[in-house]
Structure 1
Amino acid sequence: MSHRLLRILILAVACVVLAVVVATLGYAFTRGGPHKPRYPGRLAVRDGCGLRHMFFDASDQRMMCLQDVFDRISVSRNGDKLAWDTTGGQSLLVSGVDGQAPLNVPVPLGSSSAPSLSPDGTKIAFLHSPRDDGKYDIWVSSTTVPNAEQETNTRNVSDVVWSPTGDWLAYVQNWSPDTLEGQVSLVRPNGDDSHTVTKGDAPDWSPDGKKLVYVHKGSIWTINPDGTDGHLLIRNGHSPAWSRDGELIAFMRADTCGRNICPEHAYLAFANRTEPHPVGPAYANERQIVWLPDPFE
């Protein structure tokens, strides 16, 4: 073999190796690695048999049906897993991000709801009531091994969401039907360091874990996890959900219709306070919003 041909072969092999390395790093960075995804993700609204999902410009609308889905759906930060509660209230299901072939999460006897997956999808936080009396605490379990443990002892928790960095659970306690909010609080996944951050409802995390978005007095606010720098972001909104790249916040808002109950739309606004705009179809009432991974991540 000539030296020239040998050099060509070595160069070709080097190019292939470099391409593999770049592709691997790109996958790691965009699927739960240290860098944020390149795209917002697919906006997904709880509807019908599961999720109605679309790109952020409302194009390519599709339905993803989820077996026996009831109310709350969670997407792991790495974009690999879905979890949801079921109509009977006795079980939680977990699957790949396509929603197919779900498996039962090993939860204790009683009522279980409002699941929130850990960033890597191997653990799950959820609300559990052993007596099935509507009074809930936070429990944490493996998604595959029956090792659930109770992490709060208040019997008045109404929401929980795992931070994208994995070190905190944000939750709502003492929710009031009169004010439609409670105390947005934090606790470690092992039950330590529980403390209140602010008054509000429906917290969600920024992808870097440095901010919380939540509802207060019918509008959407952001705040640091230590309770500082709280400010109004969007007037007249609820059910906020931060996009996977951190650039957008999706939320629900009722239309103006002159009646007591009006249809609702999903809205999008940039996290830097740009004017919101509606996206997708109208819904009969308020819905949960989540962000699925973009297929081009």
Structure 2
Amino acid sequence: MSTRRFIQVLIVVLALGLVSSAGATSSGTNGRIVFTSRTRDGQSDLYSIGQDGTSLRRLTTTVHIEQAPDWSPDGTKIAYERVLGGGDHWRIWVMNADGSAQSALTPESTYADDNTPAWSPDGSRVAFASTRGGTWNLWMINADGTGLHSLGTTFAYEPSWSPDGTQLAFSGLSGIGVVNADGSNPHFISGPGGSPSAPSWSPDGSHIVFARNNSAGYPGELYLAAPDGSAETQLTSGGFRNAQPRWSPDGTKIVFQRYDVAADQWNLWTIGTDGLNPQQITSSGNNLGPSWGTSQVIPEPDASPPDAPHIDIYAPTGDGIYFPGQGTVVYYVCSSTVSAIVSCEGDLPIFAPVDVSTAGPHTFTVRAVDLDGRTATKTVTYEVLDITPPTIDLRTPSNGATYDLGADAKVDYSCSDPGGSGVIFCGGDLPSGAPLDTSWAGLHRFSVTAADKAGHVTETHLTYTVVDRSPPGVVIQSPLVDHDYSLGATWSTNYYCWSPGNFHIVSCNGTVPSGDPLDTAGIGPHVFAVTATDENGKTTTASIPYRVIYLFNGFDSPVDTGGNLDGAKAGDGIAVKFSLNGDHGLKVVTQTTWRPATCGDWIPTGPAGPADARLSYIPSTDRYREIVASSSSWKGSCRLLRFNLEDGTHPEVRVHFK
């Protein structure tokens, strides 16, 4: 999910009362801000800074990539994502607030990535996004590394906890979503327009801030909304690129990243929740993914960093044995925990063949220089032998064998030199007894080489295949999740099935065939399901809930198009007409209620009560007509007249009695 770091900017003009109150009741204390810097010293490391932009401290100094930090609730720990490079995968790590005691939290995976950690409000768990299930899902793990499990929320990432710890907001293909902490009731509170991302729950639980792309597809403005998606308000304006918003612990500010077009870099800003008083807090480097914690402790800078770079020579190996034509390539790495490496040069470049042109002892030297001028040199000695062949018995893998992706198989081979001088070297692409590489699907090659004391050499080469037998996938594009469809409406279904391992899909069957009309014949909740089966007999079922409702065309006169009935006489029967596109019986209205309300803004002032009403249907006009009794004591008051329909909808008339 390297696409997850969308980054945006803000200039604010909104000062609405609804927005200004967001988060204002939190009792958290604003401390330091932790973030990723991708250009400082030529690396991607984590830093912390005071909320006023002072006391910048570097927390990580490895050669790896660290990003997406998140403070623990008590301000003592930082969770983040880290990749070791060289084809490895992202994992979740944890360290102390000063950068010490760095350790992996999630277990290593040979095929999956773990990203965007988020501490639970009580600090006992960490939610994160992962491809351990094949696609981006939300996962959970305890703070001690136990209890790893999936929440089952498909295509979800960038989790953010509700302050009571019962729910998680997340980014998904369909917009911003919310799911219970046990994985139940996933639903979306925004549409997909503008690719909304990076939700962050306010400390008092009243709002969620998130970012949307602009019309050009770049990071754009920040928005606030209630947790149910209502009362959405644009927080920033001005056409800047803003992204990754996060609340301050006290709920009065939001920190985010903004793109500086002139400098071609991202910097951190803060802004009030009323959209006022934007403040820039960093001015150099590419600064991304902030998290605002409660810790006030300023880490002490390292007083005695190492004086020289570190060199690892992996090939040729020290005291290694090689032979003419072996084909081993040179490989070495230079690193520094305190600076950037500006030069890393060996006697031969990386991936060049090891010099085995002549028999006898050889040396290989690598020299490193860092940004501050410190140097290091490392030399290894190896031996090149003469050749005649011993024998090799390669038992695992066998030539042409097939293994499942991730299968637990051990390399097994041995070398012998019957009647000869004896084996001095017996080695393969992996040592005998090591796990066979089944981490990726496709054709693999494996080689073993043996050499005896006289320099005689034998090579064995074979191939084996790794196949991905993961269950098939199902994508339902129509119907839409939790969508309302009119009774009898014509709407085509659309779905397809696929296999991660490119196996044949034997069947891909839905409630109806893809392209056929959706079932809208009966009102109420419906479920559309699709089941896929591949040639391995593995199945996957996906389902989409939707609802069928009456085609309500509004109320007839004297109710106006806005649903208002002015000048009704208190004590008279109120006649209301409406159409549901046909006669559906006299049970379409399950209950009619009156509720007192203020005139003008129609705010309810009391509970709703059942109304005395009689419903009839007029075939000649295709209209329902309901006579609803009123009270003469209602003179000069306003009431909300609600019709609860059996399809779950409830149209309403605002009645103003004269």
2:27: which partner in 1? 36
Return the alpha-carbon distance in structure 2 between the equivalents of residues 53 and 165 of structure 1.
27
Q: Is the 8 A contact 2:167 2:180 kept in 1?
A: yes
Q: What amino acid maps onto 1:216 in structure 2?
A: R
1:22: which partner in 2? none
Return the alpha-carbon distance in structure 1 between the equivalents of residues 90 and 55 of structure 2.
34
Q: What amino acid maps onto 2:146 in structure 1?
A: P
Residue 193 of structure 1 is aligned with which of 185, 189, 194?
185
Residue 204 of structure 2 is aligned with which of 200, 205, 208?
208
2:78: which partner in 1? 82
Q: Is the 8 A contact 1:77 1:164 kept in 2?
A: no
2:552: which partner in 1? none
Give the TM-score of the pair, scaled to structure 2.
Answer: 0.36
Q: Is the 8 A contact 1:49 1:66 kept in 2?
A: no
Return the alpha-carbon distance in structure 2 between the equivalents of residues 152 and 159 of structure 1.
15
Q: Is the 8 A contact 2:36 2:288 kept in 1?
A: yes
1:118–1:194 Cα change, 3 Å: same
Q: Is the 8 A contact 1:108 1:148 kept in 2?
A: no
Q: Is the 8 A contact 1:80 1:121 kept in 2?
A: no
Q: What amino acid maps onto 1:239 in structure 2?
A: Q
2:258: which partner in 1? 253
1:164 maps to 2:163: yes
Return the alpha-carbon distance in structure 2 between the equivalents of residues 214 and 253 of structure 1.
14
- Residue 35 (structure 1) shift: 5.7
1:151: which partner in 2? 151
Paired residues, what number? 248
1:250–1:153 Cα change, 3 Å: closer
1:153–1:45 Cα change, 3 Å: closer
1:288 maps to 2:289: yes
1:221: which partner in 2? 223
1:99–1:119 Cα change, 3 Å: farther
Residue 230 of structure 1 is aligned with which of 224, 229, 232?
232
Q: Is the 8 A contact 2:128 2:157 kept in 1?
A: no
- Residue 58 (structure 1) shift: 1.1
Q: Is the 8 A contact 2:93 2:106 kept in 1?
A: no
Give the TM-score of the pair, scaled to structure 1.
Answer: 0.75
Deviations 1:229-254 (A, max 9, x none): 11001123211111111111111112
- Residue 168 (structure 1) shift: 1.0
1:61–1:153 Cα change, 3 Å: closer
Q: What amino acid maps onto 2:255 in structure 1?
A: A
- Residue 158 (structure 1) shift: 3.1
Return the alpha-carbon distance in structure 2 between the equivalents of residues 205 and 91 of structure 1.
24
1:64 maps to 2:66: no
- Residue 139 (structure 1) shift: 0.9
Q: What amino acid maps onto 2:52 in structure 1?
A: D
Return the alpha-carbon distance in structure 2 between the equivalents of residues 204 and 66 of structure 1.
28
Q: Is the 8 A contact 1:81 1:121 kept in 2?
A: no
Q: Is the 8 A contact 1:160 1:169 kept in 2?
A: yes
Return the alpha-carbon distance in structure 2 between the equivalents of residues 292 and 244 of structure 1.
6
1:195–1:243 Cα change, 3 Å: same
Greater C-alpha radius of gyration? 2
Q: CA RMSD in A?
A: 2.4
Deviations 1:33-60 (A, max 9, x none): x96124x221232114533322222122
- Residue 69 (structure 1) shift: 4.7
Per the alignment, in what secondary structure is the counterpart of residue 152 of structure 2? coil
Which moves more between the two structures, 224-233 or 51-60? Answer: 51-60
Return the alpha-carbon distance in structure 2 between the equivalents of residues 221 and 202 of structure 1.
11
Per the alignment, in what secondary structure is the counterpart of residue 188 of structure 2? strand
- Residue 90 (structure 1) shift: 4.8
2:128: which partner in 1? 126
Q: Is the 8 A contact 1:51 1:65 kept in 2?
A: yes
1:270: which partner in 2? 272
- Residue 147 (structure 1) shift: 1.8
Per the alignment, in what secondary structure is the counterpart of residue 53 of structure 2? coil
Per the alignment, in what secondary structure is the counterpart of residue 281 of structure 2? strand
1:53–1:70 Cα change, 3 Å: closer
Return the alpha-carbon distance in structure 2 between the equivalents of residues 150 and 294 of structure 1.
31
Deviations 1:67-92 (A, max 9, x none): 64533211122323211111142532
Per the alignment, in what secondary structure is the counterpart of residue 227 of structure 2? coil
Q: Is the 8 A contact 2:267 2:288 kept in 1?
A: no
Q: Is the 8 A contact 1:107 1:146 kept in 2?
A: no
1:54–1:287 Cα change, 3 Å: same
Name which structure has the greater RCO, CA cutoff 8 Å, separation 6+.
Answer: 1
Unaligned runs of 5+ in 2: 1-24, 38-42, 214-219, 298-658
Q: Is the 8 A contact 1:81 1:94 kept in 2?
A: yes
Return the alpha-carbon distance in structure 2 between the equivalents of residues 72 and 45 of structure 1.
7
Q: Which has the higher helix share?
A: 1
Q: What amino acid maps onto 2:244 in structure 1?
A: S
Unaligned runs of 5+ in 1: 1-33, 175-181
1:99–1:189 Cα change, 3 Å: farther
Per the alignment, in what secondary structure is the counterpart of residue 284 of structure 2? strand
